[in-house]
Amino acid sequence: MTDKQQWVTEKWQDVETRYRIQSVLYEDNSEFQHTRIVDSDRYGRMLLLDGIVQTTEKDEFIYHEMLVHVPMLSHPNPEKVLIIGGGDGGILREVLRYKSVTMATMVEIDPGVIELSKKYLPSINDGSFEDSRVNIIISDGAVFVKDTTEKFDVVIVDSCDPIGPATVLFSKAFYGDIHNLLAKDGIMVCQTGSLHMQPGEQVETYNLLSEIYGYARPYVFTVPTYIGGLFSAMFCSDDINPEKNDLSVIEEKAAMNNIKTRYYNPGTHIGAFHIPGFLKERLI
Ligand code: SAM
């Protein structure tokens, strides 16, 4: 009996993950990547780029909250924020919650991802692209950070995995250019992949970032639809050591900004930097 149901499969080397879906809402190749948006039973609408799950309606809050509130609540007064990638608008939505933010610049290489996210993923971007503080630049993020003379308080690199157009977003030159555009107390965070399925990403970025920034610290959280579940990011700064963050100070700032979240809280913030032993061993 053939399986009448529709499925979408994500393949990562020797592992496949299947999601039962109701329909494919969009599928095509852009100049940069293969883009697909499906309606899945368990996770709602999902965006896949080059076959890899980027974000889903049901669990996007975890990644977007942890990539935004960890740096934003560690910074004394974040006003100018730069997002590299982030075409689905989830990072932008969370950044715009801060009254201190006067400008959020998003540099996205593929305008199609933004347009499709507006059309098919409104629950994720929640109208953030229309906010008057937003400045959308269609460009390769690596070119932008090399050429810009602007300074930023927080930079969030929300890129795909280091394949296709995102490969340059994992290079020493790219991280060095971001270092040069950080203002005093500046913070950069970037996703560094799945602990179980992409161990090399943590090691390579940690080694590169440790050469460039005074502090380069991994932090860990769980995203069900990112292959292997246990996911990582790097917190980088010359002035702010995330491991010295005081719980009560973060609690006060979160309350002051009236940040309403479902995964992030000051406890998960502090806890995320208490990384598993096997990751520590990998990085030393
Ligand atoms: N949260 C996802 C993750 O952790 O894998 C990333 C989601 S977001 C959709 C990734 C975005 O990075 C995409 O919109 C893609 O077009 C964009 N991107 C890839 N390479 C880029 C580059 N060189 N410059 C700017 N944006 C890029």
CA distance 261 to 110: 29
Ligand 1 centroid–CA 140 distance in Å is 10
- Residue 2's pLDDT is what? 53
> Closest residue (by CA) to atom 2 of ligand 1?
54
Query: How confident is the model over 276-281, as a mean pLDDT?
Result: 97
Query: How confident is the model over 81-85, as a mean pLDDT?
Result: 98
Secondary structure of residue 49 in the 3-state scheme? strand
Secondary structure of residue 153 in the 3-state scheme? strand
Query: How confident is the model over 268-272, as a mean pLDDT?
Result: 97
> Closest residue (by CA) to atom 5 of ligand 1?
160
Determine the distance from the C-alpha atom of residue 75 to the mean position of all C-alpha atoms in its chain, rounded to a whole number: 18
147 classed as catalytic: no
- Residue 166's pLDDT is what? 85
- pLDDT exceeds 80 at position 271: yes
Query: How confident is the model over 63-77, as a mean pLDDT?
Result: 98
Identify the residues whose C-beta falls under 6 Å from ligand 1: 49, 54-55, 63, 84-88, 107-110, 113, 140-142, 158-161, 165-166, 168-169, 191
In tens, the pLDDT along 243-260 reads: 999 999 999 999 999 988
Choose the residue to mutate in 116, 159, 222, 232 for probing ligand 1, maximizing ligand atoms within 8 Å of C-beta: 159
- Residue 1's pLDDT is what? 46
Look up tokens 């440790």; give the residue: 210
DSSP letters along 167-184, please?
GGGGSHHHHHHHHHHEEE
In tens, the pLDDT along 15-58 reads: 999 999 999 999 999 999 999 999 999 999 999 999 999 999 99
User: What's the pLDDT band for 4 if we cut at 50, 70, 90?
Assistant: confident
Backbone dihedral angles phi then psi of residue 38, each to the nearest 5 degrees: -125, 165
Query: How confident is the model over 181-192, as a mean pLDDT?
Result: 98
What one-character DSSP code corresponds to residue 141?
A: H
| Contacts of 30 by beta carbon, 8 Å cutoff, 6+ apart | 110, 112, 113
Ligand 1 centroid–CA 41 distance in Å is 25
- Is the pTM for the entire model greater than 0.75? yes
User: What's the pLDDT band for 3 if we cut at 50, 70, 90?
Assistant: low
CA distance 216 to 210: 5
Q: Which of 188, 142, 182 is nearest to 162 (CA)?
A: 142
In tens, the pLDDT along 210-244 reads: 999 999 999 999 999 999 999 999 999 999 999 99
Secondary structure of residue 255 in the 3-state scheme? helix
Look up tokens 């943590």; give the residue: 202
Would strands 134-138 and 103-108 be described as parallel, antiparallel, or unpaired?
parallel
Look up tokens 């995102």; give the residue: 166
Quick check: 205 and 234 in contact, CB under 8 A?
Answer: yes
Ligand 1 centroid–CA 49 distance in Å is 9
CA distance 251 to 62: 18
- Residue 138's pLDDT is what? 98
Ligand 1 centroid–CA 256 distance in Å is 31
The structure tokens listed for 255 are: 């309350």
- In this prediction, what percent of the chain has a pLDDT beyond 70? 99
Secondary structure of residue 81 in the 3-state scheme? strand
In tens, the pLDDT along 132-181 reads: 999 999 999 999 999 999 999 999 999 988 888 888 889 999 999 999 99
Neighbours of 41 (CB within 10 A): 12
What is the average pLDDT value for the chain, to the nearest integer? 96
- Residue 161's pLDDT is what? 86
- pLDDT exceeds 80 at position 92: yes
